[in-house]
Structure 1
Amino acid sequence: MERVVAIILIICLNSCQKDEYFGPVYPSNSDEVSITPGNLIYIGCEGNFQFNNASLSVFNLEDETIQNDIYKRTNNKQLGDVLQSIIHHGDSLFLVINNSGLIRILNDSTFEELAIIEGFNSPRHMLMLNDKKALVSDFGGGALSVVDLVSNSITNQIQAPEWTERMVLIDDMIYISNMKDSSILIIDALSFEKIDEIQLSIEPSYLFSLDHKLVIAGNAKKGAKLISFVKSGALETLAEFNNRISGSALYDSVGYFLLNNTVKMINLRSQNEGQFSHTAQTPYSLYVDESGIYISDVIDYLSRGKVLRYDASSQLIQELETGLIPQVILR
């Protein structure tokens, strides 16, 4: 699947207490699902294309245990073919299963399946517009799907470029990655009419909202760039990297960028920078929140992967064994 697209500023985050690394955390071999209530980190594992072996892992921050294959063990069936992305909305998880052409809705603590939204071509990412409506991007179908969250069905299709990816809502306008043409499509969030399309010099793999501005991170022909865009149409290059990035995240105004051996960080307000080295063999994605910096390692794409958890001072705390090709990480 597409892989085109971090020293926290210690001064900003050094209030977090440093934990000692105590080795890898292995999941229980039991088939019984037992999740202790608490703060959970959800890890979506793509699985291998056309092997129907995508899976969901759950890491509990309270007792620091991880459980794999949660969906299958709870619902007695396979999750599907290629888990592309996950949205956590209210008390539900929306799992976008790319090659299966559907979205599974799960309870966020019991993991029981609540509903299935079907009829997609090759869904990629989901954007919640409100409690009743969402937008889903797509690969190869040339359309964005409008989803009714009450009936859990597709109610409308909007003509769009062949390959759309991530989306972000800023002030009643939706910004959408057009991967094929390296541009940003802008549509009205109410009418879904096209407002504009902005051509870029990078693949717009990661989109963020900061101070009512769109921030875009992605790879160029050589290296990678971080760009900001404002409503006036002005583009500003905030940073350039000599190497390509395989993941990016924004947390507390700090941008994180995953490279082969390092995570680079830039405070997008102060412009202070930093970096630290990581030990992932094949870094694949990145997630950051107050509980740590999480880097997924897909190893060789055939073995069970790992998620490396670093603390605020960039020290490795834990290695979490997951399913195949851990990709999406969220709270």
Structure 2
Amino acid sequence: MKRTLRHILTLAACLAAFAGCMKWDYGTTEDFQASERGLFITNEGNFQYGNASLSCYDPETKHVENEVFFRANGFKLGDVAQSMTIRNGVGWIVVNNSHVIFAIDVDTFKEVGRITNFTSPRYIHFLSDEKAYVTQLWDNRIFIVNPERYEITGYIECPGMTMESGSTEQMVQYGKYVYVNCWSYQNRILKIDSETDEVVGELTVGIQPTSLVMDKNNKMWTITDGGYEGSPYGYEAPSLYRIDAEKFEIEKQFRFELGDWPSEVQLNGTRDTLYWINDDIWRMQVEAERVPVRPFIEYRDTKYYGLTVDPRNGDVYVADAIDYQQQGVVYRYTARGELVDRFFVGIIPGAFCWK
């Protein structure tokens, strides 16, 4: 299961975090000119194998290019690619166990800069061209960076965490406040004042909230995985939560069955429909009063690992990690649930980013 796997991998990363810096060996390069619109897939790769990679898919032509970072730059992306964000034509790729964030030109895939010396970075959230937050695993701080200078400029101390239990994940913003879910061995959403860079509030939810998105009504949604049987932090049935961003309080809790493992909450382009993975792929309107009884896309006896929705036409893309060893597959469905394409990417495709 996705979160269990990530927990094991990142625990090992903690033990090896400062054992040495990742070395990049430069080789021959290729020239690319990507289409105006496309979908990036970050492939995590296997922990400590340094085989993370980046794929790029053109929805119009249904053409995929794999290993584009390596082919454009002449060196591997690194160890465990976690996430990617695009801002002003620059793609920011967060590479967890290599403790680095690469900045690339989204048309040529060539590196334009990098920020190093993180603990175990997870996600980056931009406040301006000169300021961004970077969440961490196994660190009780959120890092503040200057993207223009590619440097770390400060830290936000997170209350109730130690270096061993620290965990901050995805971020959304409402006004001047940035909200972040705390996942591994945590059960909170933190509220950060982006002007003072201080945590000014926290909200308790279920055990291990795995995702965080903001819908059209300024309601935040998070889904908890409930931990696992035998966990020292506890084990409970997971839940989906709707949270009012302005009041910072829970409005609705949708409970799952004990033993379910929901994850990867996503929104469509109009932010009025939720999608998530719980063996099957599920879909629900944000105003719904109960979760659906039938899935949108049925389970295929495989390992659904990542999920995204095309913001333009509502097509749904599902990443299949297969056995975590071979190339993964991405399935593309229409908004009606019809399969229209499937393509191979890298090892353990985990996150998507729309250009």
Distance 1:65 1:329, change over 3 A: same
SS in 2 for 1:63: coil
Equivalences for 1:245-264 in 2 at 5 Å?
245-251=262-268, 252=270, 253-260=272-279, 262-264=280-282
Q: Secondary structure at the match of 2:202?
A: strand
Please tell me whether residue 176 in structure 1 is matched to residue 176 in structure 2: no
Among 260, 270, 275, the alignment partner of 2:295 is 275
1:151 to 149, 152, 164: 149
Deviations 1:166-221 (A, max 9, x none): 11111211111122321111110110122111111232211111222322122224
Deviation at 1:111, TM superposition (A): 0.3
Q: Deviations over 1:59-97 (max 9, x none)?
A: 011211001000001101011100001001110100000
Is 1:185 the counterpart of 2:190? The answer is yes
Q: Specify the SS of the correspondent of 1:307.
A: strand
Name 1:314's counterpart in structure 2: 337
Match of 2:350 in 1: 327
Taking the aligned partners of 1:136 and 1:32, their CA distance within structure 2 comes to 30
> Does residue 1:3 correspond to 2:3, yes or no?
yes
Pairing partner for 2:219 from 195, 208, 213: 213
Residues 209 and 224 in structure 2, CA contact (< 8 A), matched pair in contact too: yes
Matched, 1:235 2:276: no
Whether 1:226 and 2:246 are equivalent positions in the alignment is: no
Moved more, 32-41 or 110-119: 32-41
**1:92-103 equivalence runs, <5 A:** 92-103=90-101
User: Is the Cα–Cα contact under 8 Å of residues 171 and 179 in structure 2 kept in the other structure?
Assistant: yes
Question: Identity, % of aligned pairs?
Answer: 28
Q: Aligned with 2:212: secondary structure?
A: strand
Written as runs of structure 1 = structure 2, the 5 A alignment for 1:72-151 is 72-151=70-149
Distance (Å, rounded) in 2 between the aligned partners of 1:56 and 1:48: 14
CA contact (8 A) 1:105 1:113 kept: yes
Residues 44 and 305 from structure 1, CA distance in 2 versus in 1: closer, same or farther, beyond 3 angstroms?
same
- Greater share of residues in strand: 1
Q: Distance in 1 between matches of 2:300 and 2:338?
A: 11
The alignment covers a number of residue pairs equal to 305
Structure 2 residue 213 is the aligned partner of structure 1 residue 198? no
TM-score after normalising by structure 2: 0.81
Which amino acid in structure 1 is aligned with residue 140 of structure 2?
G
Query: Does residue 58 in structure 1 map to residue 56 in structure 2?
Result: yes
With 86-95 and 217-226 compared, the bigger mean Cα shift is at 217-226
Worse overlay, 177-186 or 234-243: 234-243
Unaligned runs of at least 5 residues, structure 1: 6-30
Secondary structure of the equivalent of 1:165?
coil
Which residue identity does 1:275 align to in structure 2? Answer: P
Relative to 1, partners in 2 of residues 1:107 and 1:34: Cα closer, same or farther, differing over 3 Å?
closer
Is the 2:2–2:305 contact (alpha carbons within 8 Å) kept by the matching residues of 1?
A: no
Alignment partner, residue 327 of structure 2:
304
Distance (Å, rounded) in 1 between the aligned partners of 2:56 and 2:153: 32
Alpha-carbon distance change, 270 to 155 in structure 1, aligned in 2, over 3 angstroms: same
